[in-house]
Structure 1
Amino acid sequence: MRLLFVILFMLGSCALLRAQEIPSEGGRVYNLTMPSTLMQGDRNYSVYLPEGYETDTLRRYPVLYLLHGLGNTNTKGWVERGNVEAIANRVIAEGRACPMVIIMPDAGTDGPGYFNREGWPYEDYFFQELIPYMESHYRILPDAMHRAISGLSMGGGGTLVYALRHPELFAAACPLSALVTFPTRSNNDSGWMDKYPQVRAWATSAMQPENAPLDLIRNATPEQLSAISRVRWYIDCGDDDYLYEGNLALYMLLREKQIPFQYRMRDGAHNWLYWQSALPDVMTFVSLSFGEASSFIR
């Protein structure tokens, strides 16, 4: 009988813990589609709308574009594995970030990749169709000072290149475990380049000189470097991540070019546990970049 009581007590404690971890109220994620002329069909995306979005119809919000990694989609990535809804609700409720809209586009279905290549004009789609569509269909503040971008792995590489190529469009850029350069064979334990032909096809596009983050920085003019320096940069990569070499090279190059940035190398690897733990700090960082400090820091 005593054992049964202990078991029931433990189960009740677990239920209470889950109730505390998952807010009963808050924002919601919606999985939707949008039309695209460039991509010749509908494209999937997910959107997180913060609590109060539906009721306070006069309020407009800053926006974070959050990019998934290779092998994921908008739903399989940040929505399902990244637990973005619960994390965003908690961080906003705790006063660690301002309410914001989070857009998660799909670059995995029929792709993958965030860069243009034959039959896949994804970067053009992102800037010419996706951003205008979101700003016309949601109450998003349509200026660079209220627009940020972040992403993991392949999406971290996309974050880097998009903000380096279009620094005038973003207040902040936060690449996580970014694909900056391809890992050396000795550091590529999974051998994914050899296992998956689709990866190799994407990689060929990703590492073209025009899409290589380090080359974009090295070859930037003084005027371009000045524009890049106005973006607030937050870079995070785990000490056991197989992409750490490229991120360290990025660290050294940004210092050499005197571009201000924040850099984090925490205990962790290339996995969702690490990225879930990174998202709250990203949300705080971009909130400060939006100039929203007085409205959310408690």
Structure 2
Amino acid sequence: MKYNLLLLLLFNVAIGARAQNQEAKSTVETKTIHSKILNADRAYTIYLPKDYVHNPQKKYPILYILHGLSGVNTTWFEKYDVREVQDQLAASGESVDMIIVSPNAGGDPKTEWNGYFDMPGWNYEQFFYKEFVPHIESTYRVIGDKQNRAIAGLSMGGGGSTSYGQRHADMYSSVYAMSALMSMPDNSTPPKEENKFTLLSQSVIENSCVDYVINATEKQKEELRTVKWFVDCGDDDFLLDTNIDFFRAMRKANIPVEFRIRDGAHDALYWHSALYYCLPFVSRNFKQ
């Protein structure tokens, strides 16, 4: 009898431990929001920390992470392993528990709209601020203030996150730009056809992150100083010169910015490795 009770006790302990281990996992889910501004459904993929479900009173800081040209909302999760890196860094204490979300602003540039700026037929920035951010921060348990909100991105998304941080400095505690399209490279060839990619290229020129700093008023410079900036670009990246131009403009304007040139190119390996710098950086700048 005692032996049976002991077996039952051990079984219950094992079941409890197994359930606890299952509870300790983060979750990633893909959802869709209908945009009246874009007149289309837009997908997003969101990471929820391990205790999100089982700690219903807790609210979290949030990182908006933007993909590059031809990427989609799942790219950061399926190609660059955001979930795995964040789980690892959170477990080691190098990153805080946070919500991470990536909206879809792309696809095949031959057939799909790409870009984070407003352009004829694609008012994406209006969608992002008037529909997407309010939806995310009312649907999920987001703290929802400047000190607990950050934005990051790679390539096209690196330029998008930098420009968003510049023109919406009241919303973000930090910006992390990877291999960023800060402006159109000097050696780029303008597209000959009038198409979606042409409009994207024009929007990048009109929203040049370098020109914004050069032409910033003193008030705008003060606003930029309320944001923590980190620029990260590979020494073999074709966008390195525009990132250097941005750094020089920021330094001339006396706006603090961390700048790293690491070994690497404009590729998935670099962006995966960048997460080990990005996630601790934004964590340090969240208000704890």
TM-score range relative to shorter protein: 0.7 to 0.9
SS across alignment from 1:279 = helix
Identical positions, percent: 38
Letter in 2 for 1:74: N
Alpha-carbon deviation of 1:88?
1.2
Q: Which has the higher helix share?
A: 1
1:218 pairs, out of 208, 214, 218, with 214
* CA deviation after TM superposition for structure 1 residue 217, in Å: 1.1
Match of 1:138 in 2: 140
Mapped to 2, the partners of 1:143 and 1:194 lie a distance apart of 43
TM-score by length of 2: 0.87
Distance 2:274 2:219 in 1: 32
Q: Partners of 1:202 and 1:124 in 2: how far apart?
A: 15
How far did residue 52 of structure 1 move? 0.6
Which digits, 9 at most, give the CA deviation of each residue in 1:238-290, with x for residues without a partner?
00000000000011111100001111110000001001101121111111101
Distance 1:201 1:231, change over 3 A: same
Would the aligned equivalents of 2:43 and 2:104 in 1 still touch at CA under 8 Å?
Answer: yes
Deviation at 1:28, TM superposition (A): 1.8
SS at match of 1:169: coil
The two structures have a TM-score, normalised by structure 1, of 0.84
Q: Which residue of 2 aligns with 1:228?
A: 224
* Residue number in structure 2 paired with 1:27: 26
Distance 2:155 2:41 in 1: 25
Name which of 276, 280, 284 aligns with 2:276.
Answer: 280
Question: 1:41 Cα shift?
Answer: 2.4
Greater mean alpha carbon deviation, residues 218-227 or residues 152-161: 218-227
Deviation per residue, 1:11-70 (Å, 9 max, x gap): xxxxxxxxxxxx985312111101211111221000000101010000000000000000
C-alpha spacing 1:196/1:67, structure 2 compared with 1 (3 Å):
farther
Shift of 1:194: 7.8
The structure whose Rg is larger is 2
The separation in 2 between residues aligned to 1:224 and 1:26, in whole angstroms, is 42
Aligned residues of 1:192 and 1:199 also touching (Cα < 8 A):
no
Q: Which runs of 5+ in 1 are unaligned?
A: 1-22, 293-298
Q: Which residue of 1 aligns with 2:154?
A: 152
Q: CA RMSD in A?
A: 2.0
How far residue 192 of structure 1 moved from its aligned partner, in angstroms, is: 10
Q: Give the match's secondary structure for 1:145.
A: helix
Decide whether the 8 Å contact of 2:159 with 2:183 is kept in 1.
Answer: no
**2:236 equivalent in structure 1:** 240
Q: Residue 166 of structure 2 aligns to which amino acid in structure 1?
A: L
